[in-house]
Amino acid sequence: MVMTRRETTEVLWPDPDRGPYQIRLEASKFDGRLQCSSVEVRAMNGKSVTSTALRAVPLGRLMMDFLERRAKEDMPPEDIVEWLIALGDPDE
């Protein structure tokens, strides 16, 4: 497997201004297919990362939001389509 590309984003969740969790997502393109390669969840403001909090993180939706932001920046349209296909349904 050859990695050819890596993209990362960090967001505060559930409140985009206050958190209390910081979510870092990394997606890598392996042999032509984009896959989520890393997820990091950090608690802020004296909170802890509980199993309930981890299950509640909408990873698919956060990745879709990330791709939409990248599409508005400089990512070529063919890469956006490829990423969306590789991610599948964000609500599954």
Residue-level pLDDT at 46: 86
Strand boundaries in 1-92, DSSP class E: 3-15, 19-30, 33-43
Per-residue model confidence as pLDDT tens digits over 33-92 = 666 788 899 999 888 999 998 999 998 888 877 767 766 666 666 666 766 666 666 555
Higher pLDDT, 27 or 1: 27
Yes or no: say if 47 and 18 are a contact pair by the CB < 8 Å rule. Answer: no
